[in-house]
């Protein structure tokens, strides 16, 4: 059994929705897709009023204030770290 096509909820804030749609469209380029997914997380938190500090701190703040679940925070941190791996890759 395979899942049906991915759809982005229309109620997402415009900027977060845009980044998420681009991430889905660029899944053939995983490094770019994960960076776009992280940008979507970032944009969603900003739309919810969490604009100050690092993405790490804003994800933690969202979980601490119960804006997102702990499981969602863990997923968001995974996306953040995967994007960091792409942006800060070493040539070793």
Q: What sign has the CA pseudo-torsion 86, 90, 91, 92?
A: negative
pLDDT over 70 at 5, yes or no: no
CB 62 within 8 A of CB 83: no
pTM: 0.85
User: Residue 43 and residue 1: Cα distance in Å, rounded?
Assistant: 33
The CA-atom distances, in angstroms, between 28 and each of 34, 50, 70 are 11, 31, 29
- In the chain, the N- to C-terminal Cα span, in Å, equals 40
Q: Residue ranges per domain, the chain?
A: 14-87
pLDDT band at 88 (very low <50, low <70, confident <90, very high): confident
Task: Determine the average pLDDT of the residues in 57-66.
Answer: 98
Per-residue pLDDT of 24-52, as tens digits, reads: 999 999 999 999 999 999 999 999 999 99
């Amino acid at each position: 059994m395979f899942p049906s096509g991915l759809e982005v909820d229309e109620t997402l804030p415009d900027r977060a929705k845009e980044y998420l749609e681009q991430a889905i469209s660029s899944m053939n380029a995983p490094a770019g897709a994960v960076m776009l997914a992280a940008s979507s997380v970032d944009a969603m938190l900003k739309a919810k009023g969490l604009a100050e500090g690092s993405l790490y701190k804003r994800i933690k703040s969202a979980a601490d204030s119960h804006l997102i679940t702990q499981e969602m925070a863990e997923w968001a941190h995974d996306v953040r770290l995967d994007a960091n791996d792409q942006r800060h890759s070493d040539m070793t």
